[in-house]
Amino acid sequence: MRVNHYAAIGAAVVATIALSSGSLAGQAPAAPAAPANPVHNHIGHVMTMWKDTPGTQGFLPVAIADAKVAATHAGYMQKSPDNLDSIKLHAGHVLHALDPSIEMKGPGSGYGVKRAAAGASQHIQLAAKTEGASKGVVTHAGHVTASLADVTQWTDAAIATAQKIRAATTAAEAAPLVAELITQTNNIANGVDANKDGSIGWQTGEGGLAQANQHMMLMMKGEGL
């Protein structure tokens, strides 16, 4: 009886395998995965993911977050305009948010606006130069690149201003530099209406991170991303 029992089980298993094989044979082979779009990969590096950023975010979100920290701490300096130690403390926080290779400790991400903006600029230009890039990608990449060039210039200027503040010997000496730093960090984040036409564009001398982000979003919409 035991032999017959095992024989019955074996027959059932064979029948199941045969039935499964027959079902699979009638199915079409699975379609191969679509190849990655190299243009979209570079756009993703700018906006959604990069390997060594905090939380593997895209370069631009990191730059925007650190720019907010820099602008916030530049503003804090005005809360204690006669306290040189407090002013210098926040100048260090601004430096950390802009370029942590200069000031390692602070409230920023540890990546810095300068490095993140450089990465965003590099990869959006790679997207535009990649074979198959659409006209929309090429056009908006030019706008983003122009704004990020402004960001880089203003970041370097703000770093120099923050360092001058830390070298000041009196609060009175630091005061005009504080006002300058507030303007510079605001420009980095939001751009500036340089030609006084009532709006801030992407053009050289006007565009900041907000304008770079605006044109990245327009690019992504056009690409269906």
pLDDT tens string 144-180: 999 999 999 999 999 999 999 999 999 999 999 999 9
Q: What pLDDT sits at residue 28?
A: 52
Which amino acid is present at 87? I
Q: What pLDDT sits at residue 129?
A: 97
Angle (CA) 151 206 142, round 5°: 70
Alpha helices in 59-134 (DSSP H): 59-76, 84-98, 113-129
Positions in the chain short of pLDDT 50 = 1-26, 34
Query: Can you give the pTM of this predicted structure?
Result: 0.85
Q: What pLDDT sits at residue 99?
A: 98
Q: Is 121 exposed, middle or buried (0-12, 13-18, 19+ CB in 10 A)?
A: buried
Q: What pLDDT sits at residue 29?
A: 57
Helices (H) and strands (E) in the chain, counts: 8, 0
Q: What pLDDT sits at residue 214?
A: 98
Structure tokens at 47: 């906006």
Query: Which string of b and e fits 9-45 if b means at least 16 CB within 10 Å?
Result: eeeeeeeeeeeeeeeeeeeeeeeeeeeebebbebbbb
Rg (CA), the chain: 28
